[in-house]
Amino acid sequence: MPETWTHAFEHPEWWAAVWTGLFAAGIGVSLARWTAKKRRRRLGEATIPGLPLARDAALLLALACIGVALLGPRLGTRMIRTTASGVDVVLLFDVSRSMDATDIPPSRLEHSRQAALDLLARLETGDRVALAAFGDRGVLLTPLTPDRDALVELVGALDTSLIEPAGSNLGAGVREAVEAFEAGSERPRIVVVLSDGESPPERRALGMDAAIAADVRVVAVAIGTEAGGRIPNHGLPLRDEQGHIIVSQRNIQRLERLATATDGVVFSADAWGSIDGAELNIAVRRDAGNTPGAPVERRVRAVRVAPLAALAFGLMLIEALQPLRLRIRRKRSTLRRAALATAIVAFATLGLAPPTQNTTLNLLEAQLRHHPGDVRLLIELGLARLERGRQQAAQRAFLAAALGTSDPKLAALAYYNLGVAALERGSYEVARDAFFDVLALRPGDREARFNLEWSLAVLSNETPDPKSSRRLATERKLGAPGRPEEVSETTETGRPSETKTSPQTLDPERRNRWLARIEDDPAAALRSAVRASGRALHRKRIVW
């Protein structure tokens, strides 16, 4: 498949099979038609009509539609719903010689470093960041990590002699940066390119295909000035082979093309090399969501299979029923036409109906078959059953969830939903017990307290205010109670040593002072990463 097409399809690996199949079918049909034509000539063309071309063409077209659908054409965008847990960011540094230019003193690289450090300081706790750089080739310096301190030290150690040979190959850099993202991860992926955009004429590739194929958004930061600046070389300006002083200029158009193609944005440094850090952070965290654990919607490229499958379906049906159409016309049966139209409308209406609740239920049940003890899935299953009015089955799911977890927050959530399901069903004793359990686990839960009081009032033949009770009692809680870190606080993480001695202890302030003194050697880590970067890493394709 041509390289420029790869980003247009989700499954380019099918290209060879599709091409071979279509070619074989085309050759086979042509050969059959040719032999039939010869036979017809032999038997007498006047008495025997030729093979209908339209029917063969319809079948071949249907096969082509299926083939293109198999490649997974990417057209337009669609929204996906995920759980917010932070963004994955790769900081891609341009370490070509032009980044030493002094048009924005002290150097472009220093300003890109400042922009990166500012962004690192602004990112949220759940975000992960990796570091990559490019000169004549791209190098992934670190994997995605939550450890900002390590990255701050590595960013400080970057310089323009890091990657040999010198050069500027943005495309290679983007392709290498994309390798940092984990296959199958749902987190938003962003590559922040910190570059002047300048490149030699033979290095025009931008790595757009790799970024688009991996659903990566590129946010570019253009460093430098349009007027340009000289590049220092041992105290003197750098000169070309003819002895002319080289003046390096910022090329924002290339960065704009890359960012626009990937639904990203370009930030241009001002004459002093400054970037609006807050705006950059907003652009980077656009799809991240505000609350960790909360559902968040995100736009991704859509793969359109259904229209092509529908076209193939229609073509095959028409081809098979072509004689039927002729017969209907001959008989002029209005009744048959009406019946056919009704059938088509009925099928279309049935087919275009929105997904049913049953589908969600089936999916959740299928997921539970894979992970039978998954408490969150059990809660979601309970909620789905409740939506379908199957309160008893929902109660069973909530109870299984409550009994199956050691995490008090999840158990409280499950008991609360159990209580609500019981209330809806009129089982006030069950509801009362469930809300008691919630309050035992979370004494401050006001909704559970209110619902408990309501249940007790009903059980003692009192008449509580029906409006307020309905408002609170039927308000179900969704199964996304918090970040995994919150879950971990209450759980056992290992077996301590049997013979533990008490060492000299440090208070946190002293410890932090000591740790600040501990010196890492980021330059050694960078050298090690650059030396071994020739070995390529190939990942599985990222799927949505």
Partner 1 sequence: MTEIAWAGLRAMGIEAFDRPSWILAGLAAGLLCAVWSLRQRPSALGLPSIAEARRAGARRFDFASRCGLGLRVAALVTLGAILASPVGVHTSPPEPGFGLDLVLVLDASGSMRALDTQVGGESRSRLDLARLVVSRFAERRIHKGDRVALVVFGNSAFTQCPLTSDGRLLAAALSRVEAGIAGEATALGDALALAVKRATAGGGQAAPGRVAVLLTDGRNNAGSVSVEVAIALAASAGLRVHTVAIGSAGEEVAMESNGAVAGRGLRFERHDVDTRTLERIALATGGRFFEARRAGDLEAVYHAIDALERIERPMPSRTRRQDRPQPLLALAGGLLLCEIGIARVLRRRMP
104 to 143, contacts with partner 1 by CB under 8 A? Answer: 125-128, 140, 142-143
According to CB under 8 A, which residues from 317 to 346 bind partner 1?
317, 320-321, 323-324, 343
* 45 near partner 1, judged by CB under 8 A: no
Which residue, chain included where needed, has tokens 């539609």?
65
Which positions from 507 to 526 touch partner 1 by CB under 8 A, shown as an x/- string? xx--x--xx--xxxxx-xx-
Among 7, 8, 9, 18, binds partner 1 (CB under 8 A): 18
- N- to C-terminal Cα separation, the chain: 22
According to CB under 8 A, which residues from 223 to 252 bind partner 1?
none
- DSSP per residue, 370-426: HSTT-HHHHHHHHHHHHHTT-HHHHHHHHHHHHHT---HHHHHHHHHHHHHHHHHHT
* 102 near partner 1, judged by CB under 8 A: no
Q: Which is nearer to partner 1, 270 or 387 (CB)?
A: 387
Q: Which helix (H) or strand (E) holds 55?
A: helix 53-71
Q: Strand order of the sheet with strand 138-140?
A: 138-140, 128-134, 88-94, 189-195, 216-222, 265-268
Q: How far is residue 284's CA from residue 90's CA, in Å, rounded to a whole number?
A: 10
* 63 near partner 1, judged by CB under 8 A: yes
Among 29, 300, 456, 457, binds partner 1 (CB under 8 A): 29
* 76 near partner 1, judged by CB under 8 A: no
According to CB under 8 A, which residues from 460 to 479 bind partner 1?
none
- Is residue 385 within 8 A of residue 393, CB to CB? The reply is yes
* 270 near partner 1, judged by CB under 8 A: no
Q: Which among 181-189, 251-259, 330-338, 416-424 is the span making contact with partner 1, rule CB under 8 A?
A: 181-189
Q: How far is residue 295's CA from residue 482's CA, in Å, rounded to a whole number?
A: 11
* 155 near partner 1, judged by CB under 8 A: no
Q: Which is nearer to partner 1, 165 or 496 (CB)?
A: 496
Size of the site for partner 1 (CB under 8 A): 131
Q: Which is nearer to partner 1, 76 or 201 (CB)?
A: 76
Q: Which among 212-220, 429-437, 453-461, 489-497 is the span making contact with partner 1, rule CB under 8 A?
A: 489-497
Q: How far is residue 137's CA from residue 511's CA, in Å, rounded to a whole number?
A: 41
Q: How far is the CB of 424 from partner 1 (least distance, A)?
A: 25
Q: How far is residue 216's CA from residue 172's CA, in Å, rounded to a whole number?
A: 15
Which residue, chain included where needed, has tokens 């008495």?
47
* 73 near partner 1, judged by CB under 8 A: no
Among 8, 155, 180, 269, binds partner 1 (CB under 8 A): 180
Q: How far is residue 483's CA from residue 486's CA, in Å, rounded to a whole number?
A: 5
Which positions from 344 to 363 touch partner 1 by CB under 8 A, shown as an x/- string? ---x--xxxx-xx--x--xx
Q: Which is nearer to partner 1, 68 or 283 (CB)?
A: 68
Q: How far is the CB of 486 from partner 1 (least distance, A)?
A: 10
Q: Which helix (H) or strand (E) holds 36?
A: helix 15-43
* 374 near partner 1, judged by CB under 8 A: yes
Q: How far is residue 262's CA from residue 434's CA, in Å, rounded to a whole number?
A: 50
Among 371, 470, 471, 541, binds partner 1 (CB under 8 A): 371
- Is residue 62 within 8 A of residue 25, CB to CB? The reply is no
